[in-house]
Amino acid sequence: MTLEYKGTSIFYTDDGNGEPIVLLHGFLENIAMWKPFLPELSKKNRVICIDLLGHGKTGCLGYIHTMELMAETIGAVLNHLNIENPTLVGHSMGGYVSLAFAERNQDTLKGLCLLNSTPQEDSQEKKQNRDRAIIAVKQNHKTFIRMAVANLFSTENRTNFKTEINETIEHALKTPLQGIIAALEGMKIRKNRLKFLQNLSTKKMIIIGQKDPVLSYENLISIIEPTNIKIIKLPDGHMSHIENKDEILHEIMYFIEK
């Protein structure tokens, strides 16, 4: 289904009945990443999956897709569907968007789960890496995508999940050049929402991979353990929904139901 918003089509799916759950994919992903989870999650819940700006079947809206702008489009879809009190689950960039949405809607949010994501902003080094990535994307976005996707898995899983990596790359290659750059620019300038997350009164959980090549496991542990945020530690990389699929489904279902 699509919603026209500010002249751009926002694509989403709406499955099941019950408590509203909103699933937000990460950078270079789309709602296809959630397909293996839908049969179980939609048995007792209403599950909304949304293609973020410049990803999947959703169009672009300018040259920089800030996390706030993406959150705005999530709000437009949920308003259109008359959904209140959702639980949000966001993978990686989807987690950044979930935090931006939560900041605007904290009084009506039922739960927030960050999957392989962080409430912190980009470090100076990470911002420089984003700039390098933008240059690489402009030179050859297909080569960039192939390298970027494979590098999200733990080293050993780049062999163990070869088929899944190739499928993920095929989906990622459908991401338009403008969408890739706009997301990189938006992630680069996102703000630190750690204090906000600490103070957020709703139930909250963060799932982190011990061998995540993108996010520092040690750093996340150090900033999250002193807080009241539930931590789930998994043994693999950044793509927990593939590398640790059964555990992810179990943890998300438990988080929703508790």
Assign residue 198 the CATH number of its domain: 3.40.50.1820
| Residue 48 pLDDT | 98
Percent with pLDDT over 90 in the chain? 97
Mean pLDDT of 64-70: 98
Which pair of structure tokens corresponds to residue 115?
A: 């999957």
Global pTM exceeds 0.85: yes
E strand segments, the chain: 2-5, 8-15, 19-24, 45-50, 87-91, 111-115, 203-209, 230-234
pLDDT at 94: 98
| Arithmetic mean of pLDDT over the chain | 96
Per-residue pLDDT, averaged over 110-114, amounts to: 97
Confidence grade of residue 183 (pLDDT, cut at 50, 70, 90): very high
**What pLDDT score was predicted for residue 258?**
81
120-148 per-position pLDDT tens digit: 999 999 999 999 999 999 999 999 999 99
DSSP secondary structure string, 83-133? Answer: --S-EEEEETHHHHHHHHHHHHSTTT--EEEEES--SSPPPHHHHHHHHHH
Confidence of residue 16 (pLDDT cuts 50, 70, 90): very high
Query: CB of 151 within 8 A of CB of 213?
Result: yes
- Domain membership of residue 39 as a residue range: 2-257
Half-sphere exposure of 90 (CA within 13 A, CB side): 27
Domain count, the chain: 1
Residues 87, 226: Cα–Cα separation, whole Å? 24
Give residue-wise pLDDT tens across range 211-248.
999 999 999 999 998 888 999 999 999 999 999 999 99
**pLDDT one-digit tens code per residue, 94-108:** 999 999 999 999 999
What's the pLDDT score for residue 193? Answer: 97
pLDDT band at 175 (very low <50, low <70, confident <90, very high): very high
Output the pLDDT for position 64.
98
pLDDT at 57 over 90: yes
What is the pLDDT averaged over residues 66-75?
Answer: 98
Residue 149: how many CB atoms within 10 A of its CB? 23
Residue 150 has pLDDT above 90, yes or no: yes
Residue 109 CB neighbour total at 10 angstroms: 23
Task: Give the integer Cα–Cα distance in Å for 148 and 191.
Answer: 23
